[in-house]
Amino acid sequence: MCHRLGDVMKLCCELSADQQIQTTVKGSGKGAAAAGGLAFAGGLVGGPLGIAVGGAVGGLLGCWLTSGQFKPLPQVIMELSPQQQQQLYADMVAILGGVHWTDVAQLTALVMSNSSLKQQLTAALLGYITKELQANVHYVD
């Protein structure tokens, strides 16, 4: 069972890397609030030029406040606690159903070649990340 859990976690990493998915840890609103707040304050103090200066300073402050909060989903998956991994594993195995595999390479090949199964597993993975971890998900351009 332990190697099967590892296989499924690696499959989740492969699915998210294939889709180039990143997550935003809670708190990115702080960056937006800093940028908007300082732009507003700058506008009150310095008019149109103050808006520009306040927005620039607020943007830099917002960048600093949120640094390190955007992570590739494979990294998030590998940092899950054992209980969280077990829960994600149960969700994924429920979809995999009767699929039998001997190693992670075979499992990955089976899933990647079946677009319906790949889509279902990706949806379950994203659902878990947004519901259980309360993270925002976005795709890298």
Q: What is the pLDDT of residue 9?
A: 92
Q: What's this model's pTM, rounded to 2 decimal places?
A: 0.65
Q: Answer whether 14's CB lies under 8 Å from 73's CB.
A: no
Residue 70 has pLDDT above 80, yes or no: no
Decide if pLDDT at 141 tops 60.
Answer: no
Sequence ranges of the domains in the chain: 1-25+69-141, 27-67
As a whole-number percent, the residues of the chain with pLDDT over 70 amount to 74
Q: What is the DSSP letter of 98?
A: T
Query: How many CB atoms are closer than 10 A to CB 125?
Result: 24
Give the pLDDT score at 22: 64
Q: How far apart are CA 60 and CA 4, in angstroms?
A: 44
Backbone angles phi, psi at 98, to 5 degrees: -90, 15
* Confidence check: pLDDT of 121 > 90: yes
Highest-confidence segment of 21-25, 61-65, 103-107, 130-134? 103-107
Q: Tens digits of per-residue pLDDT, 26-64? A: 555 556 666 677 767 777 887 878 777 777 777 777 666
Rounded to 10 degrees, what is the CA torsion of 116, 123, 17, 107?
Answer: -50
